[in-house]
Chains A and B, each alone.
Chain A
Amino acid sequence: MSSEPQATIAGNAASPDPLIRVRGLSTVLNGKTIFDKVDLDIPRGRITAVMGPSGTGKTTLMRHITGQLAPDAGEVWVDGQNVVKLDRAALFALREKIGYLFQNSALLTDFSVFENVAFPLRQHLGLPEVIVRNLVLTKLQAVGLRGAAGLMPHELSGGMMRRVALARAIVRDPMLIIYDEPFVGLDPIALNQILKLIRTLNDTLGITSILVAHELAAISRIADSIFLLAGGRIAAHGTPEQLAKGETPWTKQFFTGAADGPVPFQYPAPDYATQLGLAGAGA
């Protein structure tokens, strides 16, 4: 049986009006093929998870979607606009409708928690101070950090920084929110609340969410569908239940966490015994 990932898997049918449409995406970084003619659609108003082994290009895909990185070939359409061909002004106009939670939080270190969350509002909306204050406190309350509004980023733990970054990403109630590794460093209580928050935002405001994460249990609780990236292609796509029962070697290995399978645990390396100087020692 071939273990080559398939670009077209049952369940990856194009939705009628997807928010994001990727066609023929090909990317090579530092000589390594990250994407090889990838097609995918992300529907509006749903929570879509993007999973895959480390280094498989999940964050790179998000960078393509947000126009931070141009692909070598292919098209990336977001809300009817081809991101690849947008000029800087049009790209910035599109990004005003996108909230992005960075892997490392990327808080502005000279600003307090409050000012970090208020930053997008102050830069774009020119709202009265009382409204800015109420909006920021509302979002901080949602992530459980209203009491930390006056703290500086260096006074926060990694999990708290992530929650502040989440509050900043959602402060303008964007059309699309991209969460890059949102669950790292969260304790079980915070994780539960953040999962509820993501679901609530999705259900009440109709926000489209893309989750890049590895936590299968957490993703299974809230994601409407999952894309499994591997080997530069989409190895599988479907609901969490469909993928959990998946029969392809990719889904089996990923959902069981087995070391043996199409995804090697070891980074490509020379022979272990030879490198340790043990080759031929027994002769």
Chain B
Amino acid sequence: MSSVRKPSYLLDGVAQVGACSLFLLQILKAVPASLRHIRETVRQVWFVGAMSLTIIMTCGLFVGMVLGLQLYYVLSIFGGTAALGTVVSLSLYRELGPVVTALLFAGRAGTSITAEIGLMRATDQIAAMEMMAVDPLAYVIAPRFIAGLIAMPMLACVFNALGIFGAHLVGVSWLGLDNGTFWSNMTSSVDVWKDVINGVWKSVAFGAVCTLIATFQGYTTAPTSEGVAYATTRTVVFSSIATLALDFVMTAFLM
């Protein structure tokens, strides 16, 4: 009689979620000790934040330009082009800014976090740290987790700013919408707490989820080239799904 269990995607999935949750608890427990390695945290903020600026700024600009173009066309049908600034900014602050930034973050920073930690695992660097009585959760994982929490909202703010700038370029500079109308309608309609801060909370949550998934996948990867490759792919897939699902849940609660 074979004792080998038949593979079950549902059970394996639940086990992964459980393991990831326990991993989060371990990270939170290691955060106080990680404050000793503040330079490593700062280095990681630079690595996942500053190094992601180019892609975030570029994408933010183009997303804003596309939004400006599409919404100008739709609003012009109803004679409501004056609301362009309002609609673009609300779309960006509430949804597109945090969500698209998180998706880009997963692709740019999440994959590199997973690959780096996975290779450290494969080359025994994690084991070497443990043997030197240095907790890898405090030295490697927690600084990256904290960096994700710090960098994501800042990146989302940059994305929003460039998005609004892109919409302004298209709407005002190109299609001739009045500059004062664009800005005054936006500032009078956007509520700092309800729109901007809620979007920031979302990006903090997305930062936590994306970085948790990236570090978990790297830390638990099989120590082979193929294992690291699979872990990197899983980071993008799981982070994207988790971001969109969490966005729905948070939107329902924050509305």
Contact = CB atoms under 8 A, between A and B. Distances in A.
A259 interface: no
B112 to A, nearest CB: 13
Interface in B111-153: 119-120, 123-125, 127-135, 139
A100 interface: yes
Interface string A105-131: 011110000000001100110000000
Interface in A70-118: 88, 92-93, 95-96, 98, 100, 102-104, 106-109
A95 B132 contact: yes
Nearest to B128: A106
Contacts of A202: none
A106 B133 contact: no
A124 B133 contact: yes
A106 B130 CA distance: 12
Interface string B8-43: 000000000000000000000000000000000000
Interface in B127-184: 127-135, 139
A66 B131 contact: yes
B123 A106 contact: yes
A243 B114 CA distance: 48
Chain A interface size band reads 20 to 34
B132 A120 contact: yes
A107 B126 CA distance: 10
Contacts of B133: 92-93, 95-96, 120, 123-124
B123 A109 contact: yes
A108 B134 CA distance: 13
Nearest to B126: A106
Interface string A182-214: 000000000000000000000000000000000
Contact of B131 (A98, A103, A104, A124): A98
A102 B127 contact: yes
A106 B131 CA distance: 11
A101 to B, nearest CB: 10
B131 A123 contact: no
A119 B120 CA distance: 16
A93 B139 CA distance: 17
B125 A100 contact: no
Contact of A108 (B128, B130, B131, B135): B128
B134 to A, nearest CB: 5
A157 interface: no
Contacts of B127: 68, 102, 106
Nearest to A111: B125
A226 B127 CA distance: 26
A119 B125 contact: no
Contacts of A95: 130-133
A119 B129 CA distance: 9
Q: Interface centre among B119, B125, B128, by most A CB within 10 Å?
A: B128
Contacts of B130: 68, 95
A212 B130 CA distance: 20
Nearest to B119: A109
Contacts of B129: 108
Interface in A45-83: 66, 68
Contacts of A92: 133, 135
B117 to A, nearest CB: 12
Contacts of B132: 95, 100, 119-120, 123, 168
A93 B123 CA distance: 24
B134 A102 contact: no
A107 B119 CA distance: 12
Contacts of B135: 88, 92
A95 to B, nearest CB: 4
B131 A100 contact: yes
Contacts of B134: 119-120, 123
23 contacts: A66-B131, A68-B131, A92-B133, A92-B135, A93-B133, A96-B133, A100-B128, A100-B131, A100-B132, A102-B124, A102-B127, A102-B128, A103-B124, A104-B124, A106-B123, A106-B127, A106-B128, A107-B128, A119-B132, A120-B133, A123-B132, A123-B133, A168-B132
Interface of B: 119-120, 123-125, 127-135, 139
The 4 nearest A-B residue pairs measured at CB? A106-B128, A106-B124, A92-B133, A100-B131
